[in-house]
Amino acid sequence: MSNRSNELKTIQSISAFHKAWGLPSPTHPLISLVNFEDINPKESSEAQKIVLNFYTVAIKRDFKGKFKYGQGYYDFDEGVISFIAPGQVVEENVDHTDPISGWLLLIHPDFLRGYELEKSIKNFGFFSYALTEALYLSKEEEKTIENTMKSIQTESQRSIDLYSQDVMISYLEVLFNYSNRFYNRQFITRKHVNNNILSQLETLLQEYFKSDAPQNEGIPTVGFVASTLNISANYLSDVLKTLTGNTAQQYIHLALISKSKEYLTTTSLSISEIAFLLGFEHSQSFSRLFKKKTELSPVAFRKSFKI
């Protein structure tokens, strides 16, 4: 039996990607737009774990295969757009006998070097979303994204001049800003799904602070909460920001403050004891956070409830 599925294949360059997937050499070494219909992998179709050391943006339609991201396999039979940052592990298991349509934009980090986008691209949280949290596009949105990608491709195939890279960087910024807008639309239109996430989060935090987990594990982290809910940390924060105006970290702090108020008003526990029950190593840290969120110290808050 082949152990190829356990191997981790790292592809460093866009040229290497083109070679591995049976494509002609890219017209530009640092940015390329690939039509999925042109892909003819030279490798076996067995599952393999891949690390791409460049950004990828993919529009997929009629994709008869699965990608593993984290702990699960995910189908992409519908038209979606997904974003993957350099260095993330993706496991591919594709039936290459079925046609795949769509586009794959490859952007090497060196292409962004010296531009503001090199820093600001890290602010686009969707590059850290799991593949299950891909963006579902309307036909109009898909056309907008596809046209922007094709504009990048057209520019990359022109003779390089002093403005070529500037123009392509501008198109990339437009692409990412449109994607931000469309994701925000998705958070709203899929509100019933996201409200379910919010409900699950509330239950999770309530049960966590009722248990002895804070004393054993400390204050719940965004990573822990997101992992328990089977979503990515960035997606959780962006959903919460849309629904509540708070990031995941802020939401956890609000739940913590709510529980601390319960202790302060219904028990005679000391501030140190309450801090310990909530998962703080030092009571001073608890007092600072409480005052920051309520503008009162824990002691002053407790006194305000006494006659």
Query: What does the pLDDT look like over 242-300, one tens digit per residue?
Result: 888 899 999 999 999 999 999 999 999 999 999 999 999 999 999 999 999 999 999 99
User: 56: number of CA atoms within 13 Å, CB side?
Assistant: 24
Among candidates 305, 263, 307, which has minimal Cα distance to 283? 263
Contact 137, 80 (CB under 8 A): yes
The reported pLDDT for the residue numbered 152 is 93
**Can you tell me the distance from the alpha carbon of 61 to that of 39, in angstroms, rounded to the nearest whole number?**
14
With a cut of 70, say whether residue 91 has pLDDT above it.
no
> What's the rounded mean pLDDT across residues 124-130?
82
In terms of Cβ atoms closer than 10 Å to its own Cβ (0-12, 13-18, 19+), residue 179 is: buried
pLDDT category of residue 62 using cuts at 50, 70 and 90: low
Token representation of residue 298:
């824990």
Percent of the chain with pLDDT over 90: 50
**Most confident range, picked from 29-43, 156-170, 192-206:** 156-170
pLDDT, averaged across the chain: 84
Decide if domain 4-135 falls under CATH 2.60.120.
Answer: yes
Q: How many CB atoms are closer than 10 A to CB 9?
A: 13
Contact 116, 176 (CB under 8 A): no
Q: What is the 3-state secondary structure (H, E, C) of 29-92?
A: CCEEEEEHHHCCCCCCCCCEEEEECCEEEEEEECEEEEEEECCEEEEECCCEEEEECCCCEEEE
Tell me the CA distances in angstroms from 37 to 187, 199, 200, 286, 306, one per residue in order.
Answer: 31, 41, 40, 57, 72
**Can you tell me the distance from the alpha carbon of 254 to that of 87, in angstroms, rounded to the nearest whole number?**
33
pLDDT category of residue 3 using cuts at 50, 70 and 90: low
Cβ neighbours of residue 258 closer than 8 Å, sequence gap 6 or more: none
Q: Which ranges in the chain are annotated with CATH 1.10.10.60?
A: 192-304
Q: Which ranges in the chain are annotated with CATH 2.60.120?
A: 4-135
CA 263 to chain centre: 35
pLDDT category of residue 31 using cuts at 50, 70 and 90: very high
With a cut of 70, say whether residue 147 has pLDDT above it.
yes
**Can you tell me the distance from the alpha carbon of 290 to that of 264, in angstroms, rounded to the nearest whole number?**
11
Lowest mean per-residue pLDDT among 15-19, 135-139, 264-268: 135-139
Lowest mean per-residue pLDDT among 19-28, 59-68, 141-150, 165-174: 59-68
pLDDT category of residue 191 using cuts at 50, 70 and 90: low
The reported pLDDT for the residue numbered 139 is 84
The sign one gets for the Cα dihedral 142, 148, 149, 150 is positive
> What tens digit of pLDDT does each residue of 42-55 get?
554 455 678 889 99
Cβ neighbours of residue 110 closer than 8 Å, sequence gap 6 or more: 30
> What's the rounded mean pLDDT across residues 131-137?
76
The reported pLDDT for the residue numbered 49 is 78
Q: Which residues of 245-271 are buried (b: 16+ CB within 10 A; e: fewer)?
A: eebbebbbbebbbebbbebbeeeeeeb
Question: 192-304 in CATH: which number?
Answer: 1.10.10.60
